[in-house]
Amino acid sequence: MENQTFRVSEPKERRNEWIKPGLIVILVAASASIAGVFVIQGTFFQTLIALFIFWSLFTIQVLALRDLRVALIAVFADAFFMALPIALVFREFLSLYLFAAWAVFLAFLTYTIFRSWKVLEGSVKIPFRRVIKGIVINAVAGTLIFLSVTYFAAGKIGEAAPLLTGLGTDVTPRNIIEGAIIKNIPEEERAGFDINSAVSQVKENLEGYFGEFNLDMPIWEVIVERMSSWFEAFELAGKTLGFILILLVLWLVFRGIGYLFYIPLSLIVFLIYEVLIVSNFLVIKFESRSVERIVLK
């Protein structure tokens, strides 16, 4: 009798259980890449919408994926594909600091998974509000830290970062100084007041503390230029310490922004979640488990 090789086909259920996780991973990674493109080329509102879509889908991803290997691959893909279009545009500014910022971004996404799973495992009923809040705050903070360090390193906040075009990039130091001076001058004295001389005097005083700057340059570019000069003046140890301090400050600031974004994002996530439940893409399973407890007898 001839030797025969028998192939045992993988059960259909086994194959199907990888389809939905794969779709989720691809969809969220695609939204991350699109957000990265809009960060470079889109307007402020286009970029904000793209980021909101990514953060919403990422939240669903964390809730839906339960396999550790798939989840780690997913967060790496999310961080990689968001950074890819940005890195292609800012490739001449790539450095160890940008890689460190990207690593912080990846760490935030990874931490979000473990923290959320821990909360879910320790709860009898799914605590949606608590879980979604933790996911949103960390995802928002990690993303904005990465983008901020990237723009700072590139030194192109006003020119190549449309994300900030709605946050005051048209404002110049001259506008700010003139406004502050005029506000403190009585109306009857404003007609004959030499505003240009006063602005020049204030500029000289400020340059004694912060160094030279252009009065007509967008304020964001002035801030980046001054911070870059300050940063470059340190040795390697000082730069590393300064970088860590910057990350801590950004973390505190962007966690606050994450709290502001939590309410609208939670509504979006809830709507997506309900659609997935109704379409039977997601299901809620009830499990019974034994738990050890210490009691008085």
Q: Which residue has the tokens 């890195």?
A: 87
Q: Can you spell out the DSSP letters for 172-183?
A: -HHHHHHHHHHH
pLDDT at 160: 42
When divided into structural domains, the chain yields a total of: 2
40 shares its domain with 104: yes
- Is 120 among the domain residues? yes
For the chain, how many residues are written?
297
The structure tokens listed for 22 are: 């794969």
46 shares its domain with 128: yes
CB neighbours of residue 139 within 10 Å:
26
From residue 98, how far is each of 38, 51, 103, 104, 163 by CA, in Å?
19, 20, 9, 10, 18
163 shares its domain with 185: no
pLDDT at 287: 63
120 shares its domain with 249: yes
pLDDT at 106: 92
pLDDT at 155: 55
153 shares its domain with 23: yes
- Is 285 among the domain residues? no
Range of the domain at 251: 14-168+218-225+235-278
Q: Which residue has the tokens 């939590």?
A: 262
Per-residue pLDDT of the chain (297 residues; tens, 9 = 90+): 444 443 444 454 555 567 888 888 999 999 999 998 888 887 778 888 999 999 999 999 998 888 888 899 999 999 999 999 888 887 776 677 778 888 888 998 999 888 888 887 776 677 778 888 888 888 998 888 888 777 766 655 544 444 444 444 566 777 777 777 777 777 766 676 777 787 788 877 777 766 677 777 766 667 666 666 666 666 666 666 766 777 777 777 778 888 888 889 989 998 988 888 888 887 777 666 654 444 444
Question: Does this model's pTM top 0.85?
Answer: no
Inter-helix orientation angle 44-64/128-154, to 10°? 140
Longest dimension (CA), the chain: 113
CB-based contacts of 222, cutoff 8 Å, min separation 6: 172, 173, 213, 214
pLDDT at 240: 67
64 shares its domain with 160: yes
Amino acid at 290: S
162 shares its domain with 180: no
pLDDT at 8: 40
pLDDT at 75: 93
161 shares its domain with 199: no
Q: Which helix (H) or strand (E) holds 36?
A: helix 19-41
